[in-house]
Structure 1
């Protein structure tokens, strides 16, 4: 049997990398610079991980927008206090991190919403919510123009011949001449749109500017003649656009499609759905010949230019995660259910994410059976259940294909459990409608992939599972369900503070009442059967965990220790231990025999909704309200080895020091103690040196020390001097040091001046104590003499 778990540590985690705002390409097209609240995270597209962070995560300021120059060697970050920080980006960001080059105050009176460089990268334009655009000469570090507009600035573009086009949220377009000495700054106004200008694009090798708007049109303007060439309908509220190397226009908007247009005629060449939600931004990287699309759900989608196929999907921020489940052969994938209608399917090795559309509302639970890890069952707030199969689409990617659906609950389906055996396979579901339902999987799990046309209600197009049995389980919402190892019993827990047991007749696929376990004072958050014993664990909002004897339907023990509601619990190590997670983000490891808490880990910053383990219990996965997914590994043996190694080294070092002292090699012993930075060992050596007949022995040993060892010895003296018992040793050592080393050299040592200053207060205190003792001795001597003379 494996050793008990004492400690777990983070192996890897999925963190937030994008929380809204702008995303920029790196020079080589292999990295992305994305805004994440108050920092910029650099995402490596090879493994979808944040390789490093630009900025201070503890900074209270929030990023409003970013900009990168055409050569992509300078990154500008604007904050909500209207300050801009400029970072220099090295040619290879993987080797060196960007460095802060300068910071300046823009004098805008509202947050900066958009920043753009000119073609040369020496002129910057900043547009803000104060209706003002400022033009900056970065070489001379000065503001050259302040351009007041009619509304909040939404888009900026540098045109040909020192022209600047500015778009506003009310639909106006202003053309400015920013040539130094120009008699008139504001040249023209175009009023072709009646809604938010979302993008301004320069047509290659021309003076034409394309404006995109949420009024479902685009307009083409000539910056020299100042005329509007045409206004064309796009039949969609456009959020962003980009021009590819072929000269065509690519747009994204509220429909979730990428569309390719001929600019002159607005002829639609092709379109492809890449998201079930609105797409807020699209940008093209000519180096890698790829698009980057950003969805309204804060997902980053990398597309191939030629085919518009999805190459990579990165979840910027998960929001609240309700459930995680490992699946696939050798647990190669992880399904994540969060506060969205899509299932996030992660490759556990590369962290590449695939978004699987199916449910219409938030997915609450995902489970996979042990007898076929390619199957997955999910349930949602849309009252439905979908059975999926994991299939490979290529050597590196996989997806979930729907097999069948189950409908019948009249309210949110909160939790699922699948039988542990394939002989009579079934699915148990519980819901906020207070019922438990039993679904006979039978051959349904072996069905061929369902044919979905992509239109209409997804669930309605799937083959339906038949409900075998329905029971009213609890008086209030049912939160959790679990199935025993033998598939003979089902346990449910609800907000009515009860744990209910249900018998399963696998021949008839019928449910029967098996008993009620009462004792919790708040709603039950989770129930789990032990694999190898007749035990059941339940946790509750009353901050306790209860272990029940199923046969006798009695409570064996109540485990206390959590300071808030306990949401999840699992058995580990052959049912001898428990892992529990609570609403404060704390994980606790318990040993059942003693009810002792072996370890308490501050894992998350908010509620933990998901706690699961892999097949051999070597790794655990947690996720919750903070949107983080953390994979933990058991480090008990590793930590024990480290502690044993430290203990062995300490014994060897003590033996070496003892040998040196016994051989009266005091100088070598002092050097050895200082090298190990052990104050007590050094103290023992100095005591031995001071007890020698020759008073020069201590000074001789100190004179052989180098500068670093002298500094360590001074540091020890400061510690010893704080204790009246050890202060004589400290004073003697300091006496020897100041007589061996010249004062100028001593003060020049790093930190020496501070050590000397630290010695003074306690030295004065020791002197005062000696003076008082001297006075007391004199008084005692006087009294003693007077008493003798009187006798």
Structure 2
């Protein structure tokens, strides 16, 4: 009796790795359990423990989000859309409370909620800040006096029946001060010579700290808004945080009274005493900073990949959360600034993937980036392999050793990476730089890790010999250069695919 042969089979999706963050500022709940991000026209709520999306806030119309703010009690989200509409949501049950027009004559770029849970301020490209009452559905203030895009806004943490200040900075490089009680422009604090990117308050609420792309942090007296000191930071700054120094173990306890953390173009966190201006500690193990060889120049893509665009300090987690230019979210311990985890917010176009490890617990992904993303499938924690200087095009592992990964790139180079048994870290063992154009395809042998075959836009196939020394050897810091054993012009145009026969004796190529 013949049995019916199954010609096809359907598969259900077990899990997905997808984009959840495409730009703008993020928010973190006061209890440290959730991170809020904007992804096109959706607000996504992530569980900090594993990086998975647990809630989504989406309006009926496809209206991209350009800014949003979280209330101090973590109850409300106020979302600004490209259409000029503002929407207030109770995010936990996805209930829309109200919708209204922003009445800004242009896009909104910043939304900040105050500590009383009653007011929200919106900053626009029209040189104005508008303050809204969340309970009574009207605009309480239309604050003018600044020039340009109002991207940095902060409510004073101290207020009374006589005064309640709000601070804002635009393209005129000044920090403007308005009194919400009198609706009057009180003063402006001049001192920076480039865009102010952050406004923070000291723990004792006696000082205001401002960071700028002019590589300065300025400390101001909150009572009279006079400058106390200007601290040179020696990098263009995107953010700063005031930190409780008692939680930091890497600095002297005597210097922990007035502590701030700065971040910007160099991709590292640095701790300073803003009372004296002294640099106390520089992060030693940044996941963003690119190691630069002597005399080597970094291209724009590499420089941007290490840029920190935002920082958040979570007292509940005792961690500093940073956001990178590539929309990655990284968590760091506050006591020594060591990295805890990283979530990749935006995948862009996926060019290739490879499964890693004997138990297939990790995957490597090549996207429109020089960095290779390594995901742990159980937690979605991710780390980056850095070494290529242009977009990575292809990835391949060795069937006989799934802890070895080969990558190729538009920088005309291939690299062989060796992972630790836990797959939590890897280093580059070898590199090959014989192709004259982008290396577009890779094939690895089935039986032994003795060679690798590559195809390129230069129309050639190359067979690279892997040295006989053990691939477990980790004594050398720098990768070893490979030499091509064979080179053959195989096609008239770009080689797009390569395959090896199961006995490793034949090579098939497609163009």
TM score, norm. by length of structure 1: 0.58
State the partner residue of 1:406: 432
What does 1:60-99 correspond to in 2, within 5 Å? 60-90=62-92, 97-99=93-95
Shift of 1:483: 0.5
| Rounded Cα–Cα distance in structure 1 between residues aligned with 2:110 and 2:445 | 55
| Rounded Cα–Cα distance in structure 2 between residues aligned with 1:135 and 1:221 | 24
**Aligned with 1:429 (options 442, 448, 454):** 454
Q: Given the superposition, is the C-alpha separation of residues 98 and 356 from structure 1 closer, same or farther in structure 2, using an over 3 Å criterion?
A: same
**Aligned with 2:17 (options 14, 19, 26):** 14
State the partner residue of 1:227: 226
State the partner residue of 2:36: 33
State the partner residue of 1:262: 273
State the partner residue of 1:239: 238
Larger helix proportion of the pair: 1
What does 1:195-214 correspond to in 2, within 5 Å? 195-214=194-213
Shift of 1:451: 4.0
Please, which runs of 5 or more residues in structure 1 have no aligned partner? Answer: 91-96, 453-460, 495-791
Please, which runs of 5 or more residues in structure 2 have no aligned partner? Answer: 246-257, 290-305
| Rounded Cα–Cα distance in structure 2 between residues aligned with 1:482 and 1:227 | 69
Q: Residues 321-340 of structure 1, C-alpha deviation per residue, up to 9 Å, x if partnerless?
A: 11100110111111111111
Confirm whether residue 104 of structure 1 aligns to residue 100 of structure 2. yes
| Rounded Cα–Cα distance in structure 1 between residues aligned with 2:31 and 2:281 | 28
CA RMSD for the aligned pairs?
1.9
Confirm whether residue 463 of structure 1 aligns to residue 494 of structure 2. no
State the partner residue of 2:130: 134
| Rounded Cα–Cα distance in structure 2 between residues aligned with 1:352 and 1:173 | 38
Q: Residues 407-459 of structure 1, C-alpha deviation per residue, up to 9 Å, x if partnerless?
A: 2111111111111111x72110111111111112242562512644xxxxxxx
| Rounded Cα–Cα distance in structure 2 between residues aligned with 1:430 and 1:444 | 25
| Rounded Cα–Cα distance in structure 2 between residues aligned with 1:138 and 1:80 | 21
| Rounded Cα–Cα distance in structure 2 between residues aligned with 1:317 and 1:444 | 38
Q: Given the superposition, is the C-alpha separation of residues 388 and 3 from structure 1 closer, same or farther in structure 2, using an over 3 Å criterion?
A: farther
State the partner residue of 1:176: 178
Shift of 1:344: 0.5
State the partner residue of 1:166: 168
Q: Given the superposition, is the C-alpha separation of residues 59 and 443 from structure 1 closer, same or farther in structure 2, using an over 3 Å criterion?
A: farther
Q: Given the superposition, is the C-alpha separation of residues 128 and 444 from structure 1 closer, same or farther in structure 2, using an over 3 Å criterion?
A: farther
Q: Given the superposition, is the C-alpha separation of residues 227 and 194 from structure 1 closer, same or farther in structure 2, using an over 3 Å criterion?
A: same
Shift of 1:309: 1.8
Q: Residues 351-403 of structure 1, C-alpha deviation per residue, up to 9 Å, x if partnerless?
A: 2211111111111111011111111111111111111112156xxx6122221
TM score, norm. by length of structure 2: 0.88
Q: Which has the larger radius of gyration?
A: 1
Alpha carbons 1:411, 1:431 under 8 Å: kept: yes
| Rounded Cα–Cα distance in structure 2 between residues aligned with 1:203 and 1:122 | 23
Alpha carbons 2:455, 2:498 under 8 Å: kept: yes
State the partner residue of 1:122: 118
State the partner residue of 1:606: none
Q: Residues 179-231 of structure 1, C-alpha deviation per residue, up to 9 Å, x if partnerless?
A: 1xx3x711112221121110000111133111111111111222321311122
State the partner residue of 2:489: 472
| Rounded Cα–Cα distance in structure 1 between residues aligned with 2:222 and 2:122 | 20
| Rounded Cα–Cα distance in structure 2 between residues aligned with 1:443 and 1:477 | 31
Q: What's the secondary structure of 2:359's corresponding residue?
A: helix
Confirm whether residue 439 of structure 1 aligns to residue 464 of structure 2. yes
- Corresponding pairs, count: 472
| Rounded Cα–Cα distance in structure 1 between residues aligned with 2:43 and 2:170 | 26
State the partner residue of 2:214: 215
Confirm whether residue 362 of structure 1 aligns to residue 386 of structure 2. no
| Rounded Cα–Cα distance in structure 1 between residues aligned with 2:438 and 2:233 | 39
